Amino acid sequence: MATDGSTAIQDAVSSAILGLPTVKSLRDEQYAALESFLTGKDTVALLPTGYGKSLIYQIAPIVAGILASRPNAPAWLVNVKKPIVIVVSPLVALIKDQVEKANSLGISAISLLDVKDKDAEDIKKGKYQLVFGIPELWVDCELWGDMLLSDHFEQNLIGIVVDEVHKTPSW
């Protein structure tokens, strides 16, 4: 039996999908991972190649935004105005593909690899729902470290995704 929280997430997912013309529905495994992520649990999605793992984190800020806008929003989303997901990936080519795919779905995404001065300000202000970067950029670049500690990011960051986690030992 569904709880009130899971019903709210189901409704928000349905609303989010209506705005994504190329997405008809989520598979059960995608939904389970998204629900886990959106309820603040550490989540691992081990799914086959081509199964749609990326859609889980691509749709997360949209669903979180819908949930946050409702009167009965979960407590952790009450102050979220512009939900942001950080995506850490070791593969530059994959980052470029994922940014392009997200933008084609109407989900605002940017790679830290291609940032210009104006983009940096836009990222800090929450213009992008998905912010992609290689591990070294997040850790070694003072600009991004400061951004992560800013009030805006602390208020609006709904999660961090590590894509291609099997590459982690080589980082």
**DSSP code per residue over the chain:** ---HHHHHHHHHHHHHHHT-TT-----HHHHHHHHHHHTT--------TTS-HHHHHHHHHHHHHHHHTSTT--GGGTT-SS-EEEEE-S-HHHHHHHHHHHHHTT--EEEGGG--HHHHHHHHHT--SEEEE-HHHHHH-HHHHHHHTSHHHHHHEEEEEESSGGGGGG-
2 has pLDDT over 60? no
52 has pLDDT over 70? yes
What are the tens digits of pLDDT across the range 23-48? 999 999 999 999 999 988 999 998 98
| Predicted local distance difference test score (pLDDT) of residue 170 | 59
pTM of this structure: 0.90
Q: What is the CATH number of the domain that holds 111?
A: 3.40.50.300
| Predicted local distance difference test score (pLDDT) of residue 102 | 95
Percent of the chain whose predicted confidence (pLDDT) is above 90 = 55
If one counts the domains in the chain, the total is 1
1 has pLDDT over 90? no
Range of the domain at 69: 4-170
What are the tens digits of pLDDT across the range 106-165? 999 999 988 877 788 888 888 999 999 988 887 777 778 778 888 888 899 999 999 887
